[in-house]
Amino acid sequence: MKSIIKGCLCFSIIFLIGCGGDSDDPAPTSCDNLPIVEVVSTSATSTCAATDGEIVLSGSGGAEPYEFSVDGGSSFQVSGDFLTLAAGTYTVLTKDSNGCISDEKQATVEASGSTLAASATATADTECVDNNGTIEVNVTGGEPPYQYDIGKGFVSNNSFVDLPPASYEVIIKDATGCAVSTTASVAKGDTGTSYQNQVKSIITANCAVSGCHNGDNGASRDWTNFERLQAAASQIKSRTQNGSMPPNGSLSEAEKTLIACWVDEGAKNN
């Protein structure tokens, strides 16, 4: 009887964990083979102010079925037909059944009855605590004067300054009320945040202190040693950002931002 019970227990354990430790969990999804979005066609609006422009998209590569976006990935739909669009330039994408997203492309819906056209040029934000990204809009055609909007209301100036990294929709309106849109992306540039001049003093005053990371708890936690500090850079960024380090939560937002910039730029000894 004991041998029967023992055998049943062994069988149950093997059944629960699977033969030979094999797992039925699906393999992790790879996005090495990205889908590709194709602009099949575009159709102009019936008038400059109408919202009956069209973009038709298709997908290839990746894993079917696909979903499609004309707003830079903020939303997706199953159909590749977008039929109620205003005049402007749209950032189009496709997403496959694995959730992998294609590289973006641009598709332009022209405005019938208007020659208004626009493009925008962005420069990167190279400040850490503050922002200095810019967008400059260039307009041709239509009827001047023009007005410009990046989401904060229309202004007469075609240059926008002190911008943080982001993708912006720029709307341009002429004197007749016709409008077109384009997109511009302000990237995050290298801010040149210095360890020696900006970050070291924060670490020394708040982290590499007695009983914490000055070696009291072992050499592996000694952040007076730059190599060990550098090896822990990602952890330092994560914990200072979420407020769990230092324990007293004494860092200002500006100090947290400087640490994040330094880490993101390679945690250099500069």
Give the three-state DSSP class for 172: strand
CB 224 within 8 A of CB 212: no
- Average pLDDT on 31-56 reads 93
CB 59 within 8 A of CB 66: yes
Rg of the chain in Å (alpha carbons): 28
pLDDT tens digit sequence for 104-152? 999 989 888 888 999 999 999 999 999 999 999 999 999 999 999 999 9
Distance (Å, rounded) from C-alpha 114 to C-alpha 178? 7
Q: Which residues of 188-217 are buried (b: 16+ CB within 10 A; e: fewer)?
A: beebebebeebbbebbeebbbeeebbbbee
Q: How many CB atoms lie within 10 A of CB 105?
A: 15
CB 142 within 8 A of CB 179: no
| pLDDT at residue 47, as a whole number | 86
Residue 197 pLDDT > 80, yes or no? yes
- Average pLDDT on 192-207 reads 88
| pLDDT at residue 68, as a whole number | 98
The pLDDT confidence band at residue 228, using thresholds 50, 70 and 90, is confident
CB 163 within 8 A of CB 231: no
| pLDDT at residue 219, as a whole number | 62
Cα angle: 218, vertex 219, 224; to 5 degrees:
115
Residue with more model confidence, 136 or 22:
136
| pLDDT at residue 39, as a whole number | 97
pLDDT tens digit sequence for 44-95? 999 888 899 999 999 999 999 999 999 989 999 999 999 999 888 899 999 9
**pTM for this entry:** 0.64
Domains in the chain: ranges and CATH:
36-109 (2.60.40), 117-186 (2.60.40), 195-264 (no CATH)
